[in-house]
Amino acid sequence: MHNVSKLVLSPAPHLRGNASISRDMYIVTLALLLPCAGAVYFFGLYVLLMLATGVLCAVLTEYVAKLMRRQPFLMDGSAIVTGILLVLVMPPRTPLWIIAVGSVFSIAIAKEAFGGLGHNIFNPALAGRAFVTLSFASALTRWIAPVSSFMADGVTAATPLGEGFVTTLNNGALYKALFLGNVAGSVGETSVLLILIGGAILLAFGLIKWHVPVFYIGTVFLLSWIMGQDPLFHILAGGLMLGAFFMATDYVTSPITTRGKIIFAVGAGILVVVIRVLGTMPEGVCYSILLMNAVTPLIDRYVRPKPYGYIPTTRKEA
C-alpha cells in the first residue's frame, strides 16, 4: 500500500476537541469588546489610547520575557486579555505611562516571574492594578464623570463608592444610571449592562461556570443587606460585576473544582463587603480577589471531587 513507511504512531486519544488556549482567550477578548466600546463611549477616545498602550506593553513584555527565559513565544492571546483587563480597572484619565508600568508589571512580575501562564498565583491584571495604586496613588484619584461627546475632557467627579459622592438622583434613577453606565468610575466597570452581555458570552461558550458570578455577587448582596446597607447599590456600583465575570473566573488563579470555586466566590464576596463597609478603601473588589487568589492553593488542596466508587478510608480497614 501507499505511504507504507510513513504510518505515524501516537498515543490515544487520536481525536481531540476544538478547545485551545488561544480560542479561549479570543473568546474572552470578544466578550471584553463590549465593555471596551462602552468605555470609549462614556469616557472618550482617550480610552482607545489607554487600551492600545496596555495591550501593546503586555504583549511586548511577554515576548521579551519568553526570549529571556528561552521559551517559545506563543501568541495565545492571554497577554491581550491581561492588557485589556488592566485598562478596564484604571481610572479614565490615567496617564499612559502608568498604564505601561502596570502592564509591564502584570506580565513580567505577576505572570512570567511565577513561571508563565498556568503558574501565576495572582491575577496579573489585578496585581498590576494593585502595584500602580500603591506606587502612584495620587495620580490615580482623578475620576471623571462620563462625557457626552467623544472628544471633550470630562468633569472631575466622585465615584459612587467614594467619600465625596453625593447624588441628587432618587434610588430608581441611580440604579438605572449605575446599570447603564452613566456614572464615574474605572474605565470598564461603569456599565453593568455591557458587562452582563460580555459575561453571557463567556457562559454561552462554556468558558466560565455560573457559580462564580452568582455566588460572588449573591454574597455581596446578602451581606451588605444584613449589614444595613443598600444591597442593590453595592452590587451595581464599583468593579464588582467586572470582577465577578472576568477576574474571579480566571482559570489559573481560582480553584479548579466547582466546589472550590464556590468557596472562592463566597470568600471574595465577604471580603468586598468587609473592605467597603469597615475598611478605609472605597473599593474592595480588587483586593478581595487578590486575597482569595492567595488562598486558592489551599482550597485546591482540600476540595477535591469525589472519585467514582469512593470508599471512605474509615471503612477500609479490612
Q: Which of 210, 226, 294, 298 binds other proteins (CB under 8 A)?
A: 210
* 212 sits near other proteins (criterion: CB under 8 A): no
Q: Which of 166, 309, 314, 317 binds other proteins (CB under 8 A)?
A: 309
* 121 sits near other proteins (criterion: CB under 8 A): no
- φ and ψ at 29, to 5 degrees? -60, -45
Rounded CA separation 68/94 (Å): 30
Q: According to CB under 8 A, which residues from 145 to 204 bind other proteins?
A: none
Beta bridge partners of 56: none
Helix (H, G, I), strand (E, B) or coil at 71: coil
Contact region with other proteins (CB under 8 A), list: 56-64, 83-91, 223-231, 254-262: 254-262
What x-and-dash track marks residues 74-113 binding other proteins by CB under 8 A? x-x-------------------------------------
Nearer to other proteins, 115 or 279 (CB): 115
Beta bridge partners of 59: none
Read off the amino acid at residue 310: Y
* 295 sits near other proteins (criterion: CB under 8 A): no
Nearer to other proteins, 111 or 276 (CB): 111
* 318 sits near other proteins (criterion: CB under 8 A): no
Helix (H, G, I), strand (E, B) or coil at 156: strand
Rounded CA separation 69/64 (Å): 9
Are 77 and 104 in contact by the 8 Å Cβ rule? The answer is no
Tell me which DSSP letter residue 8 carries: P
User: In the block, which residue shows the cell 463590549?
Assistant: 34
* 21 sits near other proteins (criterion: CB under 8 A): yes
- The candidate with the shortest Cα–Cα distance to 50, out of 185, 241, 58, is 58
State in angstroms the smallest separation of the CB of 119 from other proteins. Answer: 7
Nearer to other proteins, 150 or 210 (CB): 210
Contact region with other proteins (CB under 8 A), list: 14-22, 37-45, 169-177, 236-244: 14-22
Rounded CA separation 70/79 (Å): 18
Rounded CA separation 284/279 (Å): 9
Interface ranges with other proteins (CB under 8 A): 1-4, 6-17, 19-21, 23-24, 74, 76, 115-119, 209-211, 251-252, 256-258, 304-311
